[in-house]
Structure 1
Amino acid sequence: MSRTRSAQPDPVATLRGGLPDRYLTPEDIAAMFGVPLETVYQWRKKRTGPPGFRIGKHVRYDPGDVRTYVDGLRTADAEAA
């Protein structure tokens, strides 16, 4: 039997629906927001994107923190309008 990538949750659906039961990778964040991976790394460097943390040499994102970040963007956008 071969494993298919479809077993992984769709990162874009994650923002719309429930949160995954795992920490997210930079690749997941790039897919969710539809931006290049390098943009995610620049956000982290400039501290402008969702907060991430290191586990050894790997960067991970808590789905709850990502949801809070998105909600903050929506609130700021609504206040600016």
Structure 2
Amino acid sequence: MLDVRELADYLGIPISTIYDWRARGLGPRDYRFGEHLKFAVSDVRIWVERQRDASPPAASNGR
């Protein structure tokens, strides 16, 4: 399990972004243990994979 600081470090983003995503329902699934917010590594990996752009890059046609 990762805490908020560890997740922010892992993703290379500010801690405030994690809280913003959480408030808007955009980030990885979280768990609350009393006052502690935790993220399962498996959930983070799934969430990261879902952020990948599904469309292939546009092919260059030489123009």
Bin for the TM-score computed over the shorter chain:
0.7 to 0.9
Q: Are 1:66 and 2:29 counterparts?
A: no
Q: TM-score, normalised to structure 1's length?
A: 0.65
Aligned to 2:28: 50
Aligned in 2, Cα 1:62/1:80: closer, same or farther, shift over 3 Å? same
List structure 1 runs of 4+ shifted beyond 3 angstroms. Answer: none
Q: What amino acid does structure 2 have at the position aligned with 1:79?
A: S
Return the structure number with greater strand share.
2
Larger relative contact order, structure 1 or 2 (CA cutoff 8 Å, min sep 6): 2
Provide the rounded CA distance (Å) in 1 between the counterparts of 2:56 and 2:27.
19
Give the structure-2-normalised TM-score. 0.81
Return the offset for 1:58: 0.7
Please give the alpha-carbon distance, in whole angstroms, between the structure 2 residues aligned to 1:42 and 1:52: 13
Percent identical pairs in the alignment equals 35
SS at match of 1:54: strand
Rg larger in 1 or in 2?
2
Aligned to 1:15: none
CA distance in 1, matches of 2:29, 2:56: 23
In structure 1, runs of 5+ residues without a counterpart are 1-22
Give unmatched runs, 5+ long, in structure 2: 58-63
Aligned length: 57
Distance 1:32 1:80, change over 3 A: same
